[in-house]
Structure 1
Amino acid sequence: MHLPTTSGTHFGRSPEVDWLHCEVVQTILDIQILAREWEVLHGCIPNASMCAHPEWTIAWWNNFGHRGRGAGRETQPYVLTFRDADRKLVAVIPLYEDQPKSLLKLRRLRSMGYLGRERAYDMTEEPTVLVEPGYEQAVFKCLAGHLRLRLEQGRWDFVAMIGPGSLALDAGGSLESLAVVRSNQRSGSDDVKLPESWEAYRRSLSKSMRENIPYYPRLLTRDGHRWEVRKLDKAQDIPAAVARLAELHKSRAESVRGRQHSNHLHTATQVGFLRDFLVTMAKEESAFIAELLVDGQVVASQAFYGQGETLTLSYSGYDERFYRYSPIFVIHSVVFREALEGGIRRINFLRNIGPWKTRWLAQTGEPMTRMYLVRRGLFSFARYFGHTAWIGFERDVIRRIPVLWGRAQRRLRQTLRESMVREKGPDPVTSTEPAVN
């Protein structure tokens, strides 16, 4: 197996699977050179996540990859790719190294995109591992050999990866002599396979859903509002649309109405990441933002990705004043119908099944695996437990302060609204709850 250095692209044959070549890409330039092949592989894999697309990785690295530099640590891409005997690209595993300069701090190899801590750079829980069907066992066996070599060399104390359900079985099992291996399976993406027509899909929904699809548009009209759902799919329109989406996403997170949501776009870097990715994908006619306008004002927004026969939902938000009209539901009703009529046969709602998804008949798909490796050795264990102790203190104490403060502010706003309603009567826009959240 090859020995990657700190930059460039390096090739080598795997001794574990002698017909499979392993490649490590460690610069953003080489990732960009690889992107075309990577995109072809992505397009050949049924139900591949948009978070496994090369442009997603490039946007993530350009916005978040520099986060540790200048703070006593170095970060760099560590993208593992695998080619068959004919040099055909069959798998990509986008990782990155976090190498602190201090010997007391944890040296890590992690999946790009998600660290499990809801930091500013946690932009997905979707697996970013991309493997052509039929190559899984060989690729993960080769991956295990590569990790074994690096663990023997002491390059990392900790490895964290998110991948298909077979990842830990095929890769983690052979590493237990060198590392403590832990894994857990989580539910995969929630999706629905669509029939040939919108009418057939509508008929398959529950009676209440069939009634709600026309109900909320009629309610908007009945209350004297002019409304429309517009689709922004030109690259030049995306930056302004993302800015509006971020504000509405924040409004949804701060709302005291309905289910509590997190704000995943609370930093300029997060917004920049989403903007960069959507602009690139819009140029390829693979992304758009749908907005609900009421009386000329944007009151709800959601980003969508489309590739092949799959439509994937992304970030959304709405103006709390229009909560009673279920604005996101109105967007979905229009977008889903147009998508189905345009040839879409699968809607990917991403993971975490919920009532609003099951109403659209979404079901949980293939499970995913989170695999964690801690290198055996006194210093690696010491660095790992010291790191986790600090993370626990930061999560339970330091990061709880703004959360509690924000919760107190939301409760105060709700109390003031209720007080105003008692004094002046109900606001016609916000006085009732929607039947569908």
Structure 2
Amino acid sequence: MRTYEPGFGPVRLCKVQFFGTDPSLTEVRGLVCRAEHQSDALYALAKHFSENENNWDVFKWSGLRSDALSQLPHDKLRTERILPDYVVNLPDRWEALHATLSNNTRKSIRKGYEFLDRDGHRLALRVADSANIDAETLHRFFRLHQARSSAADMKQHRDNFHTAQSRGFLDDVIGKLASRGLVRVFELEVNGEVVASRIAFALGRDIYLYFSGFEPSWKKYGVMTTLVVEIIKWAIEQGFSALNLSTGKDQSKLRWMPTEIVLHDIVQSRESMRSQLVARSELWRRRGLKAVP
């Protein structure tokens, strides 16, 4: 995707980057290829754009694994962001994974189930796949996502779907991917009421956990932890080999003892004096915007 900043004027920055919506919706922009092919694909793209430097001033490389960075010219690069991604390699039994967890995590999991049972609540996992993801399923997800984001006594979470445009985007994406069997919506029911929801994308034997939401009034029961446990059990039963907990460092992910994959966002500037000056002015402009309260 090629954009110009500002949109008009004598000095404009021509920026090339991977397509996607804002970072909260498209969590990882970058090359769509198998991980083991990224270095070769990156080399081919870097070679192409180095031979066509007149068509751009700045190239934003996103979602690059550490072992692929050697394919870029190091003297023209600036690291914009380092983003960790967390993957749990799934064994063939839940008990095998459970045994690797810390005592505190195992205790937290046990208490969630025990407290629900103690208070007479019935627990069930509902899995909506391509055939039964309907408007009501997405409506529940949006409602629970918003409810979690607006909870005043918990760590602040952004409501990523507060606009009609963002909800429409997700609805469109899920509609297209669901037709290919790539989407699951996991819902935790307590006494027949959905109290937690999480969207996931499945590809081959990997499953990626996307955004979630839950009813804050059920916080004391740890329903989101219980939902993740139920998802892991389901994924193991279905033969998945890897569970991606999504990007961003968070204790709720680290408790599952995942493997960390580091993704880099790199800004590459052309060698020309104009491109260097325009790129630096853009960097200063963005820093100035961040400083404005």
TM-score w.r.t. the length of structure 1 is 0.59
Structure 1 alignment gaps of length 5 or more: 1-95, 115-119, 401-437
Q: Which amino acid letter does the alignment assign opposite residue 384 of structure 1?
A: A
In 1, Cα distance between equivalents of 2:187 and 2:36: 40
Q: How does 1:120-269 map to 2 (within 5 A)?
A: 120=22, 122-126=24-28, 128-132=30-34, 136-151=38-53, 153=54, 155-162=55-62, 163-173=64-74, 176=75, 180-183=76-79, 186=82, 188-235=84-131, 237-269=133-165
Aligned to 2:278: 383
Tell me if 1:107 matches 2:18. no
Classify 1:121/1:332 alpha carbon distance in 2 versus 1 (closer, same or farther; 3 Å): closer
In 2, Cα distance between equivalents of 1:186 and 1:149: 27
How far apart are residue 301 of structure 1 and its match?
0.9
Q: Which amino acid letter does the alignment assign opposite residue 72 of structure 2?
A: A
**Alignment match of 1:297 (pick from 179, 190, 193):** 193
In 1, Cα distance between equivalents of 2:35 and 2:278: 38
Q: Which amino acid letter does the alignment assign opposite residue 123 of structure 1?
A: L
- Cα deviation per residue 1:218-258 (whole Å; 9 max; x = unaligned)? 32243344443211113553433223222222222222334
For these two proteins, the number of residue pairs brought into alignment is 290
Q: Residue 123 of structure 2 contacts residue 191 of structure 2 at CA under 8 Å; is this kept in 1?
A: yes
| More off after superposition, 310-319 vs 345-354 | 345-354
Secondary structure of the residue aligned to 2:224 is: helix
Q: Residue 167 of structure 1 contacts residue 369 of structure 1 at CA under 8 Å; is this kept in 2?
A: no
Q: Residue 242 of structure 1 contacts residue 274 of structure 1 at CA under 8 Å; is this kept in 2?
A: no
In 2, Cα distance between equivalents of 1:237 and 1:310: 20
Aligned to 1:396: 291
In 1, Cα distance between equivalents of 2:80 and 2:40: 21
Structure 2 alignment gaps of length 5 or more: none
- Cα deviation per residue 1:61-111 (whole Å; 9 max; x = unaligned)? xxxxxxxxxxxxxxxxxxxxxxxxxxxxxxxxxxx1114344433211012
Which structure is richer in relative contact order (CA contacts within 8 A, separation 6 or more)?
2
In 2, Cα distance between equivalents of 1:134 and 1:206: 31
Q: Which amino acid letter does the alignment assign opposite residue 394 of structure 1?
A: L
Q: Residue 121 of structure 1 contacts residue 270 of structure 1 at CA under 8 Å; is this kept in 2?
A: no
Aligned to 1:371: 266
Runs of 4+ in 1 over 6 A off after TM superposition: none
Which one has the largest radius of gyration?
1
Q: Residue 126 of structure 1 contacts residue 189 of structure 1 at CA under 8 Å; is this kept in 2?
A: no
| More off after superposition, 159-168 vs 341-350 | 159-168
Classify 1:388/1:206 alpha carbon distance in 2 versus 1 (closer, same or farther; 3 Å): closer
In 1, Cα distance between equivalents of 2:220 and 2:28: 31
Classify 1:240/1:394 alpha carbon distance in 2 versus 1 (closer, same or farther; 3 Å): farther
How far apart are residue 330 of structure 1 and its match?
1.5
Classify 1:139/1:255 alpha carbon distance in 2 versus 1 (closer, same or farther; 3 Å): same
In 1, Cα distance between equivalents of 2:30 and 2:46: 17
Q: Residue 242 of structure 1 contacts residue 271 of structure 1 at CA under 8 Å; is this kept in 2?
A: no
Secondary structure of the residue aligned to 1:196 is: coil
Q: How does 1:48-87 map to 2 (within 5 A)?
A: none
Q: Residue 238 of structure 1 contacts residue 289 of structure 1 at CA under 8 Å; is this kept in 2?
A: no
Classify 1:191/1:387 alpha carbon distance in 2 versus 1 (closer, same or farther; 3 Å): same
